[in-house]
A and B are shown apart, each in its own frame.
Chain A
Amino acid sequence: MTTATDPYVLNIGPQHPSTHGVFRLRVVMDGERIQDVEMIVGYLHRSMEKLAEERTFTQNIPFTDRADYLAGMSNNLGYVLACELLSGVEVPERAQYLRVIFAELQRIASHAMANGQLVSDAGAWQTPLLYMWREREKILDLFEMTCGARLTTNYMRIGGVAFDPPPEFYPAVNQLLEELPDRIEEYYRLLIDNEIFLARTTGVGAITAEDAINGSLTGPMLRASGVPWDLRKAEPYCVYDRMEFDIPVGRHGDAHDRFTVRMEEVKQSVRIIRQALDEMPSGAHKTEIPLALRPEPGEAYARVEGPRGELGFYVVSDGGPAPYRFHVRAPSLINLSLLREMAIGASLPDAVVALGSIDIVVGEIDR
């Protein structure tokens, strides 16, 4: 005998640990299965794109690290690259290397957070998360000794970076690079073959390569579906064209592959930072630019490979001291485009793991 069930509505969030911020899912459930899902966002909307139109190009840099507060360096970098493309400001060689080093450190910190949260969502409540935060903590210490802030770094400048790292930075970063490979092995031993973790993540939220491309997915989401697309290789910015590294890809596009791709990317980031530290020349870390930069009328779209995917900054100038239009192509928001496809038909715990594997940052979704 089957029992008929009535669909019911379940609200997850806005305040809920597995939504990673103030993010709300309105789920229609039929028994154990999800019939429909709608995301309701905007709780963190600060209208940065409007605010930016009243501030000079330089004054807008701190906004970018407050959008995606887990990847401040990458956001700073994308924005200053757009301004440099627009205004033609040259960047000294040393600054290019420093940008690569800090962007990759940021990627490691962000991936540690993403993977830790995913494991936490999958049921290993807090312990692996706090282990992964050890490395993140050390990276944030490096940021703090260099630019004074841990999350809202405001480190990149149009024409370079704000500060040269202090002398104590180099031994600390070298020690971190020594430790990291062992730590990654530790996480692999702890998690990658763990039966419970496999059961919770294998096949969950799977997306095919065609769907991922058509749905504008980028970053680890796209690579986990088997598409070897990385802007650091495809459209090298800074000095990524001089670095040797591989693009890890997955096969099934499920939560487990996304976890593995992020883990492998941490290894590649360690390689890149080692090379950058070895090859970094001495010299100036910044070129002087006018207090109020006035690029020629025009527009520029610069993209970087952020930890969450393609992080684009579309900046339009009308010749004035502030951007006429400032737009962030936010990977966190756009990676949610296929959320319905991922969630419908799944059970609620699986949907939570699928959402965790997307690695959203609500500050960037809402801006």
Chain B
Amino acid sequence: MPRASRQLEGTRVAERLEAAFPGVVTRSNDEWVEVVPARVIEALQWLRDDDELDAAQLSSLTAVDRHNHFEVVYHLQSLDRNHQIVVKALLTDHDTPALPSSYPVYRGALLQEDEVYDLFGIRFDGHPNLRRLFLWDGYLGHPLRKDFLQLEGRFPGLPQFPFEEKGVQVR
């Protein structure tokens, strides 16, 4: 699996995190560390304030729809120590996903959480002004969900990719 040149090993971060907050880490590998969604704030806050990990800046916050669950992906970085940490939170409730907002820890999450809420429908509890950023209120569905194109009234999208064998579905 590809890892950026300045990215810390997820397992190493997981060890430190687990020592500070037992039970907070659910999975980890070479690239990322996955934490319990309800406890993401304490994990992020500790990563931010820890001297060695020093994740002072939230570089990017986004989500991935995996059909039956969502992954919320936080890319954190330390400017002093020049490294990157990838934290994920897995939301198993696909219909009404929600997790605590990271705005109290990183103010840079303000608009990125709005964006994820708009396009994925993931609610961030405690966000000061959660709203649809690009689309208007009352817009049907959340476009970046994989089942969006199957919604009633939507164009169904490509049946298959060019250069593909017949029968291979676009996801």
Listed in ascending order, the chain A residues whose CB lies under 8 Å from chain B are 38, 41-42, 45, 47, 49-50, 53-54, 56, 85-86, 88, 211, 213-217, 227, 229, 234-235, 291-292, 296, 298-303, 310, 312, 314, 316, 318, 320-322, 324-325, 327, 329, 333-334, 336-338, 366
B131-171 with Cβ < 8 A to chain A = 133-136, 143-144, 148, 157-158, 161-164, 170-171
Q: Give, as a whole number of angstroms, the nearest-CB distance from A353 to chain B.
A: 21
The answer to whether the Cβ of B1 comes within 8 Å of any Cβ in the partner chain is: yes
| B107 at the A interface (CB under 8 A) | yes
CA distance A291 to B86 in the complex (A): 31
**A234 pairs with B82, CB closer than 8 A:** yes
Q: Using CB atoms, name the residue of chain B closest to A45.
A: B134
Which B48-100 residues sit within 8 Å CB-CB of chain A?
56-60, 62, 64-65, 73, 75, 79, 82, 84, 86
In order of increasing CB-CB distance, the 10 nearest A-B pairs are: A216-B108, A42-B134, A329-B60, A45-B134, A327-B62, A215-B107, A292-B163, A298-B1, A325-B64, A85-B2
B158 to chain A minimum Cβ distance, whole angstroms, is 5
Q: How far is the CA of A255 from the CA of B62 in the complex (A)?
A: 30
Report chain B residues within 8 Å CB of A321: 161, 163-164
- Contact B5 A312, beta carbon cutoff 8 Å: no
B34 within 8 A of A: no
Which of chain B's residues has its CB closest to A327's CB?
B62
- B162 → chain A closest CB, angstroms: 8
CB within 8 Å for A235 and B163 given contacts A49-B119, A215-B108, A337-B108 = no
Q: How far is the CA of A85 from the CA of B110 in the complex (A)?
A: 29
Quick one: closest B residue to A236, CB to CB? B5
A56→B143 contact, CB < 8 A: no
**A19–B27 CA distance with the chains assembled, in angstroms:** 45
**Do A213 and B148 have beta carbons less than 8 Å apart?**
no
Given contacts A49-B119, A216-B58, contact A41 B171 (CB under 8 A): no
Partner of A336, one of B86, B109, B111, B162: B111
Given contacts A215-B107, A321-B164, whether A41 and B134 have CB atoms under 8 Å apart is: yes
**Cα distance A327–B143 when bound, in Å?**
13
Q: How far is the CA of A233 from the CA of B101 in the complex (A)?
A: 32
Interface assignment of B31: CB less than 8 Å from any CB of chain A: yes
Q: How far is the CB of B86 from chain A (nearest CB, A)?
A: 7
A-B contact count (CB 8 A): 119
What separation, in Å, do the CA atoms of A299 and B73 have in the docked complex? Answer: 11
Q: What are 12 pairs between A and B in contact, CB < 8 Å? A: A49-B119, A56-B161, A88-B2, A211-B107, A213-B56, A234-B79, A291-B163, A299-B2, A314-B75, A336-B111, A338-B107, A366-B134
B59 touching A314 by the CB < 8 A rule? no
A50 touches B171 (CB 8 A): no
Query: B164 — which chain A residues lie within 8 A by C-beta?
Result: 292, 321
Q: How far is A261 from B48 in the complex, measured between Cα atoms in Å?
A: 28
Contact across chains for A50 and B148 when beta carbons are under 8 A apart: yes
- Contact A42-B135, Cβ < 8 Å, known A322-B161, A337-B111: yes
Contacts of A216 in B (CB 8 A): 57-59, 106-109, 112
Report A-chain residues with C-beta under 8 Å of the C-beta of B16.
Answer: none
Cβ contact within 8 Å between B64 and A316? yes
Q: Which residue of B lies closest to A47 (CB)?
A: B143
Cβ A301 vs Cβ B108 within 8 A? no
Q: Are A318 and B107 touching (Cβ within 8 A)?
A: no
Are A235 and B82 in contact (CB-based, < 8 A)? yes
- In the bound complex, CA of A39 to CA of B60 (Å): 20
Q: By the criterion CB–CB under 8 Å, are A312 and B75 in contact?
A: yes
Bound complex: CA A129 to CA B162 (Å): 45
Q: Which chain B residue shows the least CB distance to A298?
A: B1
**Structural contact, A324 and B171, CB atoms closer than 8 A:** yes
B40 to chain A, nearest CB (A): 17
